[in-house]
Amino acid sequence: MKRIYPAILSLAIAASAIAAPIDEARKLYREGDYAAAAEQARKLVKRSPRDGNANFVLGASLMKLGETAEAVAPLKQAESRGVTEASQMLAEYALEQYDVEQADAHLEKWAATVAKSRNKKLPEEHQTLSSRLVLLRNMLERVEQIEIVDSLSVDSLSFFEAYRLSPQAGRILPPDALQSIGASGAGPLSVAYMPENNSEILWASTDTADVYSLYGAGILDDGTLDHPGPLSDNLAEGGSALFPFLMPDGMTLYFANNGENSLGGYDIFMTRRSDDGYYQPQNVGMPYNSPDNDFLLAIDEASGLGWWATDRNHIPGKVTIYVFIPSQMRRNASPDDPNLAALAKLSDISLTRKPDTDYKALLEKRLPAENASSANKSKPRFALDMGNGKVYTALSDFRSERARSAMLEYLAASVALRRHLEQEDALRAKYGSGDRSVADAIVRSEAETSAMRTRIASLRNSVVRLENQ
C-alpha cells in the first residue's frame, strides 16, 4: 500500500495542475475577457489537443471575438468529446449561416450526448433552438423576391432619422416627442408613428421590467392624447413589441417583436385592424427578417419605396437600412435557387436587382434628407380647421388677439377633459374589477363629461368666429 500511495498522489497533483488553468480560462471567458481566455485555452489545447473543455473555451472565445472560421474546429472537437455547450454554440452558428442541415446535425448530437448522460433531460435551450430551426426551414421555403435599390449604414441610436418618407406616409417621431404630449411609458426605444392627418399616434410603452407594448391614442386639437391605451393583447407574443408603422389605409400595421415567433432577436410582423383590436400578427419572413434584429418596416406608397432597419451586418454602433421596391403581390424565390441563402441573408444585394435597370430616377423620389429629418423630428401640435380652407397649428397663426385668448381657453378646456376622462377610465376599471360602489360616481362623471364636451364645442366655435369676423 505504501508503494501505491505516492503514485496516486502524483496523479492527483498532475490533475490539479491541469484543472487549475482550465478553471482560469473559464473564469476569463465568463468575465468577458475573450482574448485572454482564448490565449489560455490555446496553450491547454496545444498540451492536450483532444481535451474537450479546453477546446470549448478556445472555440467559444474565438466566436465571441468574431473569429468564426477559426472557432469551428475546436468547437467540433469539444462536441466530439461530449461537451453539450459546444453543440449548442455550433447549432446557433449554423442557424446564423442559414445552414439547416448543419444546425439539425448539431442538435441531434446534442440530444445524443444528453441521452447517454445520467440526467437524460434536454435543457430548454435545445427546444428553443429546435423551434427556431423549424421556423428557419419554413422561411427559406418562402423567401420573397424584392429589389433592394439602396443600403445605408447609420448610427443605431438615431437610425429612424434616415428614413426619408413623403408627407403622405406619415411621420416617425423620436421618444422625446412622446414626453411633450404626456404619453406614458416612453422609453429609449419608444419611437412613435403619426399619420399625415395627425389624427392618432402609435408608440411602444415600457413597463418596470423594460418590456415594451404597443400603445395608441387619438390626438386632440391641443396636441394631447385622447384615451391612450394598449393596441391589442395579442401583439406581444411573449416578448416586446416596438417600432409601429401604420399604412395609409389605417388598417395595416407593421411592427417588430422578439417573442416566440421570432427567428432571433426582433422580427418584423404584420397585422390588420379588426372590430375589437388587431388580428393575430404574421411574421413577414425573409429577406426582411434574420437571426439578428430587424425592425421598423415602412412603406411609402407615394414614392414607391419601402424601408427597414437591421443589425445583421454586425457593424459596431451601426445598423443597416435597406431601401426596396414594394410589390402588391408577394413573389417568392424558388427553393431550388442556388442563391437562395444569399437572397435570404442579403449578403449580396446586387442579386436582388434586375439586370440593366437604372434605379436613379426612383431614388430621386425620396424626400430630401434635410426635409425628412425636419419632418421626423417635429413634435405634434394642435390642428384647428378655421372653416375657410386654412388650418391653424400654432398660436402665432392667429391675427385676432381675442381669438388667440379664446384658443388658449379652448386648449385648457381640452386638457381638463383629457384628465377628466383618465379619471373616468380609472372608475370604470374599478367597476370592472368588481367594485360596485363607484357606480354612482361613474354616472356623475359621464354627465360632467357631456357638459365639458358641450363647452369645448362652444369654445371652438367662438375661436373660429372671432378670428373670421
pLDDT value at residue 20: 72
Question: Of 120, 121, 119, 90, nearest to 107 (Cα)?
Answer: 90
Give residue 15's pLDDT band: very low, low, confident or very high (50, 70, 90).
very low
Query: What SS3 state is found at 114?
Result: helix
Segment 320-327 shows an average pLDDT of: 94
Task: Provide mean pLDDT across the span 329-333.
Answer: 93
The pLDDT tens digits of the residues spanning 18-46 come to 457 889 999 999 999 999 999 999 999 99
Cα–Cα distance, 229 to 205 (Å, whole number): 9
Averaged pLDDT score across all residues of the chain: 86
> How large is the average pLDDT for residues 405-419?
79
Whole-number Cα distances in Å, 92 to 96, 151, 211, 318, 406: 6, 27, 25, 23, 64
- On the question of pLDDT at 337 being above 70, the answer is yes
Q: What is the pLDDT of residues 169-181, one digit of tens each?
A: 999 988 877 776 7
Residues 199, 176: contact at Cβ < 8 Å? no
Domain locations along the chain: 4-139, 144-377, 384-468
Q: How confident is the model at residue 312 (pLDDT cuts 50, 70, 90)?
A: very high
Which alpha helices (DSSP H) does 355-438 contain, by range? 360-363, 369-377, 401-432
pLDDT higher than 50, residue 374: no
Amino acid at 226: D
Say what the pLDDT of residue 185 is: 81
pLDDT at 326 > cutoff 60: yes
Q: Is residue 308's pLDDT more than 80?
A: yes
| Cis check: omega of the bond before 287, within 30 degrees of 0 | yes
pLDDT 10s digits, 70-80 = 999 999 999 99
The pLDDT tens digits for 442-451 are: 899 889 988 9
pLDDT at 214: 95
The confidence score (pLDDT) of residue 382 equals: 64
Q: Give the count of beta carbons closer than 10 Å to the beta carbon of residue 147.
A: 16
> pLDDT digit string (tens) for 427-461?
888 888 888 898 899 899 889 988 988 888 888 88
The partner residues of 294 in beta bridges, in order of sequence, read: 310
pLDDT value of residue 98: 94
**469 or 170: whose pLDDT is higher?**
170
Question: Of all residues in the chain, what percent carry a pLDDT higher than 90?
Answer: 52
What element of type H or E holds 205?
Answer: strand 200-206
CATH architecture, domain 4-139? Alpha Horseshoe (1.25)
pLDDT digit string (tens) for 244-296?
A: 999 999 999 999 999 989 998 999 999 998 888 899 999 999 999 999 999 99
Grid cell at residue 70: 477559426
pLDDT at residue 6 tops 90: no
The pLDDT score that the predictor gives to residue 3 is 45
Lowest-confidence region among 286-295, 344-353, 379-388, 449-458: 379-388
pLDDT at 369: 52
Spell out the residues 6+ positions from residue 371 whose beta carbon is closer than 8 angstroms to its own. Answer: 164
Helices (H), 250-349: 340-345
54: pLDDT strictly greater than 80: yes
Average pLDDT over residues 131-153: 94
Helix (H, G, I), strand (E, B) or coil at 66: coil
